[in-house]
Amino acid sequence: MIFGFNGQEIIACLLMGAGLVFLIGSMVGMLRLPDYYSRVHASGNSETLGTLLVFLGLMVFNGFSNVSAKIFIIAVFVFLGNPIGSHILAKAAYKTGHPVWTKKQAVQHELSTEPTSSIATAEEKEAQANADLHG
């Protein structure tokens, strides 16, 4: 008995708290990552794990009953449907020629958003370093 909860409720709270962390991580990744492929990575993995952990916590909280079996069936549907949907969407985007985010684009984007253009680009710095190295 901690804070008036018995052991079953404490385990359910821990599982649902872990699921909540993954759900919020998935949300932050969907909003802040730069590319479609990285965003589908955030939503495909973390969302599925967070949903499954919260469903597992609800099953532990409810005990061994009819409702727990139905929640298990829903968890199986989510576990099959969410990664397959993400995978097939990413495959469709790649087959239709959706552009892939690279580091070069990131450097150009940072330079284009800077107010002053006095800083040399990465390629110029690399060329200067090669010239210094090779005489």
Partner 1 sequence: MQIFFLVIMAALIMTIGLMLQRLFQGPTIFDRMNGLGVITADTILLIVLFGFLDKQPGMYVDLAMAYAMMGCLGSVVLAKYLGGKKL
Residues near partner 1 (CB under 8 A) = 5, 9, 12-13, 16, 19-20, 23-24, 26-27, 30-31, 36, 39-40, 43, 47-48, 51, 54-55, 58, 61-62, 66-67, 70-71, 73-74, 77-78, 80-82, 84-86, 88-93, 95-96, 98
Q: How far is the CB of 122 from partner 1 (least distance, A)?
A: 25
Based on CB atoms, which residue is closest to partner 1, 108 or 122?
108
Nearer to partner 1, 73 or 133 (CB): 73
Orientation angle between helical segments 7-32 and 36-62, nearest 10 degrees: 170
Structure tokens at 15: 């599982």
The amino acid sitting at 4 is G
Residue where the block lists tokens 């909280």: 61
For 14, the 3-state DSSP assignment is: helix
Residue 20, amino acid: L
Nearer to partner 1, 71 or 122 (CB): 71
Taking the complex as a whole, the smallest distance from the CB of residue 72 to partner 1 amounts, in Å, to: 10
8 Å CB contact between 60 and 12: yes
